[in-house]
Amino acid sequence: MKSMLHKVVEAILLLTIPLWSVSALPQDAESYYVENVETIIQSKCIGCHRSGGQAGGTSLRFTSSASSNHDVFDSYVNTPTPGSRANTVLTKIRGGAGHGGGVQVTEGSSEYQRFTQYMDLLSEVPEPTPSLPSAPLNVSAAAGNASATVSFSVPSDDGGATIISYAATSSPGSLSGSCTASPCLVEGLSNGTAYTFTVSATNEAGQGPDSDSSNAVTPNAPQEVLRLTLEEPLNSETHMGIGNLRGWAVASSGITKVEVLVDGVYVYDAPYGGQRGDVGGAFSEIDDSDKSGFSLAYNYSALSAG
């Protein structure tokens, strides 16, 4: 009676153990074996398989040790490739044709379901852990106003994971700009200072190594250019003599030259830097605009409409 009661309790326990799908790691399969499969091996498989515990003349040789039996399964199932012999093991366990030993674990029973779950865990290949990406390639830089645009090619190796971001870093100064794809903009640079740049890539494993340095660039403020256009006389009139032109720039700083164009065609640069005071008031809303004027004289002879 005690033995029968024990079997009933055991059957209830077997039927109430949950089955679930897990992304397998080596320790997942071993833990599942110890918790759910070892007792079946101990009570049935070791004593049932012929030739002193050897499963039908194969390399499945069970012992009284739970961990070593897991190793037996792991070695047999995953050699030469993961999961290659899982079905063979299940056929042996249920005493399939050609494997001898009779029916050890009835197919469809909770015990057999445990074996099936264990074989699934054992056969899964864990996803590889991502590594750091390699360095971006072909880094080049173009100067801007207190900034630089840094272009690059993607790394040859993403480390097995999607690259999340890139960082371009200046030398000197270690100023950085981030982007999700080329190019990266690095701001806050000093105009007139030469810089080179490196770029690194980041994935879920972390930030990879720096690239080779880019070409050197020197950020500069943009040059303001005031263009003065001399229009042709109208109605085929002919003009002779000397003319004077005076004016002032709208911008208060940064102007370096005055370009002279005749009929929309560039002719030459006029000297720049004269005072505006001899012409009249400047733009009051522009600081120092009275000091950003120009003055020039030009000779013309037989200047007429074409």
Q: Per-residue pLDDT for 258 more than 50?
A: yes
Q: How far apart are CA 154 and CA 165, in angstroms?
A: 11
The domains of the chain are located at 2-123, 137-207, 224-304
User: Rounded to two decimals, what is the model's pTM?
Assistant: 0.47
Q: For residues 226-247, b (16+ Cβ closer than 10 Å) or e, as one string?
A: beeeeeeeeeeeeeeeeeeeee
Q: Per-residue pLDDT for 272 more than 80?
A: no
Retrieve residue 202's tokens: 């980041």
How does pLDDT run across 29-86, given as a tens digit for each residue? Answer: 888 888 888 888 777 766 555 444 445 445 677 777 777 888 888 888 888 888 888 8
Q: How far apart are CA 212 and CA 137, in angstroms?
A: 8
Which one of 3.30.70.270, 2.40.37.10, 2.60.40.10, 3.40.228.10 gives the CATH number of domain 137-207? 2.60.40.10
Confidence of residue 280 (pLDDT cuts 50, 70, 90): very low
How does pLDDT run across 139-152, given as a tens digit for each residue? Answer: 999 999 999 999 99
How does pLDDT run across 173-220, given as a tens digit for each residue? Answer: 999 999 999 999 999 999 999 999 999 999 999 999 999 999 999 998
The mean of the pLDDT values for the chain is 72
- Mean pLDDT computed over 274-289: 47
